[in-house]
Amino acid sequence: MSAVFDLFQGKSVFITGHTGFKGSWLAFWMKQLGANVTGYALAPDHENALFDALQLEGDINHIVADIRDAQRLEEEMQKAKPDFVFHLAAQALIRKSYAEPLLTFDTNVMGSANLLNAIRTCPSARALVYITSDKCYFNKELNRGYHEDDLLGGSDPYSGSKACAELVFQSYYLSYFKDRENFGCASTRAGNVIGGGDRSHDRIVPDIIRAAERGEAVTLRHPDATRPWQHVLDPLYGYMVLAARLYDGPDEINGQGWNFGPPDSSMRTVLDLTQGLTKMWESVEINIDRPEDAPHEATLLHLSIEKAKGALGWSPHYEFDQAVEKTGAWYKAVMDGKAPKDMTAAQIQDYMDGVS
């Protein structure tokens, strides 16, 4: 097994956004590795959330609180005395950002500033992995993958808020963290993550699964939109590899941005993803409905992962077809009666065996 996994045993790990899809996978994985996990987030905002399905509330130090509450966040971090901090808390939906732009900026910008400020006053913290989004890049519909030093920005409130969050990170790094002893930090951007257990609203995989459960058709708004689809375990492993490097001695990688995307072959359309998943449920039909008044969503967005491959030795483990198969297999097994905890643990173990 990779030495990266051994590092977290017995360590204190603080995760913001642990009730979300990626956060639940990370919290569960860290618990499996023997870490003492503290999660800080709002309660899940939808039924059948993965956090509830994994019964995480009883397995970790579960704190229901808002990242916009700076005082509470600082107090809880001081109590947890974390070695590692993973920041995932966010308002993560593009369409919701159009409806609630102030909430989006308040959460993703000021909430992130609160997190950084809490770390500034927390001497135990050794490593921070600060997760934003691939949408932080100003999207020019380029055919090449975006590099870590490309222009930041966004044409929608969500993307703009993530670009702002990157600037806040850079400011705190240069002002407070650059010369701090025994501490390293980095920001990360991942692609469109898929995997078992996502029940969020307004996302394609949960929409497909709900259609499969009800025996209904799934409707696609942007079937031709191309995305860097990746299984959730790939970027999470990237975060772990990065955290381990920061913990052991950040040096030349400290304060930098990192892309954790899929291989180029996983740049596929929404229609490709839908067709791949619905193969497991032949009763699900696919309808195309391109509303004229739909808010803007980027058609093409691609990440370059050469930096992470070269400097960290990380590379994605799953190709597109494998990511889709693992995702569908999780849902189908759970529909057939397998416990979500058992299926999640099995997929994590299979992944660790594959990358070790």
Which tens digit of pLDDT belongs to each residue from 81-98?
Answer: 999 999 999 998 888 999
Distance (Å, whole) CA 354 – CA 317: 8
| Nearest alpha carbon to residue 317 among 286, 292, 290, 348 | 348
Q: What is the pLDDT of residues 310-352, one digit of tens each?
A: 999 999 999 999 999 999 999 999 999 999 999 999 999 999 9
Q: CATH number, domain at 251?
A: 3.40.50.720
pLDDT over 80 at 111, yes or no:
yes
Residue 143 belongs to what domain range?
3-355
- Would you give the end-to-end CA distance of the chain in angstroms? 5
Average of per-residue pLDDT across 95-103: 94
Predicted TM-score (pTM) of this structure:
0.94
- Long-range own/partner contacts, residues 21-24 (CB < 8 A, 24 or more apart): 21/50, 21/193, 21/195, 21/197, 21/198, 21/199, 21/200, 21/232, 22/88, 22/131, 22/193, 22/232, 22/235, 22/236, 23/51, 23/88, 23/89, 24/49, 24/50, 24/51, 24/54, 24/56, 24/197
- C-alpha dihedral over 316, 317, 323, 327, to 10 degrees? -110
Distance (Å, whole) CA 201 – CA 207: 8
Provide the number of structural domains found in the chain: 1
Q: What is the pLDDT of residues 273-299, one digit of tens each?
A: 999 998 888 777 888 877 666 555 555
Q: Find the range with the poorest average confidence among 71-80, 107-116, 122-131, 187-196.
A: 187-196
Q: What is the pLDDT of residues 43-66, one digit of tens each?
A: 998 888 999 999 999 999 999 999
